[in-house]
Amino acid sequence: MSSQHARPGPRSIELFDRARRFTPGGVNSPARAFNGVGGGAPVFIDRARGAWITDVDGNEYVDYVGSFGPMILGHADPAVVEAVQKQAAKGLSFGAPTGLEVELAELISTMVDSIESVRMVNSGTEAAMTAIRLARGHTGRNKIVKFAGNYHGHVDALLVNAGSGPLTLGIPGSPGVPASVVEDTLVATYNDLESVKTAFAEHGDEIAAIMVEPVAGNMNCVPPVDGFLEGLREICDAHGTLLIFDEVMTGFRVHPNCAQAYFGVTPDVTALGKIVGGGMPVGAVGGPASVMETLAPSGPVYQAGTLSGHPLGMAAGIATLEQIRDGSVHAAIEPKMTALRDGLAARARQHGVPFMTQGAGAMFGMFFTEAERVTRFDEVAACDLDAFTRFFHGMLDNGVYLAPAAFEAAFVSRAHDEEAIEATLAAADKAFAAVAA
């Protein structure tokens, strides 16, 4: 498929040939592969600044991947880069506590109402894994409710009907995850409280936690319907179950104080990643001290990490959250988001392509459908995936980098200025024409 297109260019193709010899599938995370958009070499990146990313062939793109979420300030934000450089000169990591960890933990707990205490980890996957172990240890129960199409990283127990990469590859579970490991994982339907009530009717007092993406961002972008998150809170309260918000993607993106502030629903435990590390490998789990103190060394639930609280990650996270905390980043993004989404919809209409966008805060999704709104996973799956693939390549050939799968959300940063948005809409004009052809 990629050979019919102008991009990726020869250097990316050559690197992909080499990469496939030394790395499974040529990529270090399946979401970067082009399997979901017809296959072939992905674009290999050389550098990025602001809203723009440059590939190894020298092609420039307006970037809506933003490192799959972290880059809300834009790439190579000067304050973040400076903070990392300064810290690197002082030593890379120590295996002993630093003031940076304290500073980032304080910042997170100031910004996120439900969080008093934070444990730093190295990725969103680790944050999700720690969150469910904590919930199980704290409640003394084993079962977890998750939602089809929600993705919580490659945690064994949560890799059931997951979104993102597994969805793109059509993998309902994964070989290598024994049935015994997922026998306590109950899968409900996102935005459908009845399916959650059914699980609780059968297993109510065995359920340690409900784990949910407050905006589902791994089955395209599906915000919660009115009452869904509130309903989950009520069910959890009625059964002594912990409500875990996986805010790895939504945290500090949907709202400066996370999706929980945007929707006004308070979880017991929050998993964070992506923006919290400003582009470095950082995750975090937070909640009230009464729950968090269950973790070692205060409590009996074991969790650890040689590089956890890594100084460079902490420095990048602090430099990022410090800019987000006064709300100015989100205020700046809001009008750009409206211009972009309205502009895309208008161009689709001009070309007669059934299309709509939906989103929350600084993330949105593109849907090739006649529907006005998509709220459930089966509706996402019913969208025209072929049209997305044609649109994706039309955008890539015309200088816009979207995630290479119909099941990923798109991310806008503070650096997406008028020029970037105009360039995007000009490319969309051509890409929608290709979809309509």
| Binding stretches for ligand PLP (CB under 6 A) | 68, 123-125, 128, 151-153, 164, 213, 217-218, 246, 248-249, 273
143 labelled catalytic:
no
Closest CB to ligand PLP among 125 and 260?
A: 125
Q: What is the DSSP letter of 213?
A: -
Chain residue at closest Cβ approach to ligand PLP: 124
Closest approach, Cβ 59 to ligand PLP, in A, equals 25
Alpha-carbon distances, residue 373 vs 187, 328, 369, 424 (angstroms): 23, 29, 9, 23
Angle 171-173-179 (CA atoms, 0-180°, nearest 5)? 155
Closest CB to ligand PLP among 2 and 358?
A: 358
Closest CB to ligand PLP among 223 and 394?
A: 223
Closest CB to ligand PLP among 212 and 423?
A: 212
Q: How many Å apart are CA 219 and CA 376, to the nearest integer?
A: 9
Question: Which token pair is 274?
Answer: 């992506």
Q: Which of 143, 146, 274, 336 is catalytic?
A: 274
151 labelled catalytic:
yes
Closest approach, Cβ 212 to ligand PLP, in A, equals 10
Q: How many Å apart are CA 32 and CA 19, to the nearest integer?
A: 13
| Neighbouring residues of 142: CB distance < 8 A, sequence distance ≥ 6 | 136, 184, 206, 208
Give kind and range of the element (H or E) at residue 361.
none
Closest CB to ligand PLP among 249 and 396?
A: 249
Alpha-carbon distances, residue 206 vs 78, 133, 140, 286, 332 (angstroms): 49, 14, 9, 23, 45
Q: Which of 61, 63, 146, 151 is catalytic?
A: 151
Residue 351: phi, psi to the nearest 5?
A: -95, 5
Closest approach, Cβ 30 to ligand PLP, in A, equals 11
Closest approach, Cβ 288 to ligand PLP, in A, equals 21
Residue 56: phi, psi to the nearest 5?
A: -70, -15
Q: Which of 55, 246, 384, 429 is catalytic?
A: 246
Closest approach, Cβ 127 to ligand PLP, in A, equals 7
| Neighbouring residues of 246: CB distance < 8 A, sequence distance ≥ 6 | 124, 127, 128, 131, 150, 152, 211, 212, 213, 214, 271
Would you please indicate which residues are annotated as catalytic (active-site) residues? 151, 246, 274
